[in-house]
A and B are shown apart, each in its own frame.
Chain A
Amino acid sequence: MDSLLTKMKEKGMKSLSPSKTKITVGMATCGIASGAELVYNALADEIEKQKLDIILSKTGCIGMCYREPLVDVIEPNRTRLTYSKVTPKNVIAILNQIAEGKSKDKKPYCRIDEEDLIINEEKIRYLTGALPDDIKAIPLMKEIDFYKKQVKIATRNCGFINPGNIDEYIARGGYFSLQKVLSNMEPVKVIEEVEGSGLRGRGGGGFSTGFKWRSCRNAPGEIKYVICNGDEGDPGAYMDRSIMEGDPHSVIEGMIIGAYAIGAHEGYIYVRDEYPLAVKALTLAISQAEEYGFLGKDIFNSGFSFDINISKGAGAFVCGESTALMASLEGKAGEPRAKYIHTIEHGLWDRPSNLNNVETWANVPVIISRGREWFSKIGYKKSTGTKVFSLVGNVKNIGLIEIPMGTTLKEIIYDIGGGIPKGKKFKAVQTGGPSGGCIPKELIDLPVDFDELTKVGSMMGSGGMIIMDETICMVDVARYFEEFLEGESCGKCVPCREGVRRMREILDDICKGNSKEGDVELLEDMSQAIIDGSLCALGGSAPNPVLSTIKYFRNEYNAHIREKKCPAGVCTEITRSD
């Protein structure tokens, strides 16, 4: 079997770095929306017209969204060049440059000479021989500010492989971890490895993944399920979309390993309705994995069998919550139930079920390959490894970043993000989605990990990081989130259904200048009641956006209430304070 996988790897390598020129276009949802499809079509037309011997391929999102559309040129034995902000008009220039071997009209943005694969310590050498002078001036990708501090584990293949080609995934070390597990690791050993790595759930809660697997393994019952949470409901977050679209096999491989460790033979991936491309990529990947014998019966002749089904959500935020998600998988309305019945024992169809987030699953093959020691050395205190964030909002370098836990907000916003555009001042960063909060500029040296974010009244959440400058009104942001939650509350329990609505109404009044002294205190009191009385974590964390903005921006609330002024000038129904 070993030799079979090695053969597939060779085949994949030929497709990754072929013996002739290859051009790849970043075609994730974000790429396409920035015009990548037009660029791809223009390239295809021109290659056809000029009868060029060039392979044209697609890849996922490498994270540099602020520079999209992106086009990579890989020529045999030469450095890998990335062109950014490419338009159909640039196509001829790029093709000419390939023909002439010189860059003139369209300058590449960055280059890669060689790459260290994180999964198995192998190197991919693009450049053999000397570096031409004109290329030297183009910065290495790993040296540009946006990438310098990044460590890519979960997003290791995004932007490097064609997600529709399983061979390319294998070429970069894919499915070798699965082989290792099935050929010489007992299930309990796999769990020990994952638990020892310190991996905590990337879906927001930060629960120990290994511990969860162990509990599910030990739960009584013959039939068990593993489930992947691809609901990615937090607004402003798109890491999971990017992984599902750009590297679906990393999630699938992680799930097979998890299923083996837990003793499950059936798995589900729950993808939100708004991600059609992710569904497409996963569907194709699953059928390829089945064809290669990585899914189905007797995987790697180990006697272990496992299948994966895909289920599409239908537009309900609360379905990202574990019990609601499982109800939705059963074809019901996705209402959460009380937490004291654990899904580990009574989950899908009342059977033991293990739910993990997309990014959590994508980490697993690397942990198996590199070992727990290696993984646990990356990160900060009790948060090991990396975290993928979507760095968006009022920041220069907008995109997806993967950084070691413990990287400070300052490093993220200024070193990686390049600071605030248009000469504006930084005001706050919002993390954790509607369950999180706003962190003020005074806390900019905060190391970002699960526990530090919770300590300051926010949350890791799934990884949305929305940077806000001085033109953003914090009361409006709080109002925005309560309105969001009011619409998404399933309505089953009163504190959440009525409480969140009342909070939104009070916030509306504050924004419109109809507020009175004491409203802030009222909001604080109500928050406590909602936290104490709600059935699920949606309600339990719903007051966070309000509490954190009151905590750090009380003056702004006071200006709205006492002076009927919005210092940021957002709430147009009251006068602007200058």
Chain B
Amino acid sequence: MDKVKNAKKNNKTIVEKYHGEKSSLIAMLQDIQKEYNFLPKDTLNLLSEETEIPLSRIYEVSTYYNSFSLKPQGRYVVQVCAGTACHIKGAPKLLSRLENELNIECGETTENLMFTLKDVRCLGCCSLAPVIKVDDHIHAYLTEDEIQGILENYRK
């Protein structure tokens, strides 16, 4: 019960922050995702009620953009840069090593909800290629062999 109340309160704050502006849908979804790590279904229902934005449009937008997730994500989101500079410096090998280590495919989340593995177009750190980003931390000049150690650090 408390959870529902909380969700309602959270949503209200987010909607109020943007004055319920329909044009701020993306920003509101970003805030919701920040709060919950993904876009929970009931929260989207609430959002639709409060802003009078049709649920179909909310889903259209949440499924269109890569950064939104309708499924719970891991505590740590591992983003592998798939930009050109990283690609030619071995990003595909990093990705397959991560897939092996985590035993999931790109785009999936580990069963224990610890890690979500994603690829991303470019992290803007092309000078340090190849790079991956775990949460807010960028790991530069990464080699395959360093991956296990990095994951261990987060597993602790």
Contact = CB atoms under 8 A, between A and B. Distances in A.
Interface of A: 29-30, 32-34, 65-66, 68, 232-238, 241, 273-276, 311-317, 328-335, 390, 392-394, 398-400, 430, 433, 464, 466, 468, 472, 477, 480-481, 484, 488, 490
A274 B120 contact: yes
5 contacts: A66-B127, A235-B121, A235-B122, A235-B126, A236-B122
Contacts of A234: 122
Interface stretch (B2-10, B25-33, B41-49, B144-152): B25-33
B124 A29 contact: yes
B66 A314 contact: yes
Interface string B123-144: 1111111010000101110000
A390 B64 CA distance: 29
Interface string B95-139: 000000000000000000000000011111111110100001011
A315 B82 CA distance: 13
Given A235-B83, A235-B85, A393-B85, A312 B27 contact: yes
Contacts of A333: 60-61, 64-65
A315 B26 contact: no
Contact of B61 (A237, A315, A332): A332
B127 A390 contact: yes
A430 B85 CA distance: 10
A480 B138 CA distance: 23
Nearest to B140: A33
B13 interface: no
A34 B122 contact: no
B14 to A, nearest CB: 14
Nearest to A312: B30
Contacts of A392: 85, 126-127, 129
A236 B83 contact: yes
Interface in B52-77: 57, 60-61, 64-68
A190 to B, nearest CB: 30
A188 B149 CA distance: 61
Contacts of A236: 83-85, 122, 126
A416 to B, nearest CB: 14
Contacts of A32: 138
A273 B84 contact: no
The 6 closest A-B pairs by CB, nearest first: A235-B83, A65-B127, A315-B66, A314-B65, A315-B67, A236-B84
A132 B88 CA distance: 45
Given A274-B120, A314-B67, A30 B125 contact: yes
B153 interface: no
A235 B127 contact: no
B66 A33 contact: no
B114 to A, nearest CB: 22
B12 interface: no
A331 B128 contact: no
A275 B129 CA distance: 17
Contacts of B123: 29, 274
Interface in B14-32: 21-27, 29-30
Contacts of A393: 84-85, 88-89, 129
A472 B128 contact: no
Contacts of B88: 393-394, 466, 468, 472, 477
Contact of A238 (B30, B67, B124): B124
A270 B29 CA distance: 16
B85 A314 contact: no
B65 A315 contact: yes
Nearest to B79: A274
A314 B120 CA distance: 12
Nearest to B129: A392
A490 B139 CA distance: 31
A477 B91 CA distance: 13
Nearest to A275: B124
A392 B131 CA distance: 13
Contacts of B128: 30, 33-34, 65
Pick from A332, A334, A477 the residue with the most CB of B within 10 Å.
Answer: A332
Contacts of A276: 136
A480 B61 contact: no
Given A235-B84, A392-B127, A393-B88, A29 B122 contact: no
A313 B26 CA distance: 8
Given A315-B66, A328-B26, A331-B23, A399 B125 contact: no
B23 A329 contact: yes
A488 to B, nearest CB: 8
A330 B127 contact: no
Given A236-B85, A484-B82, A33 B126 contact: no
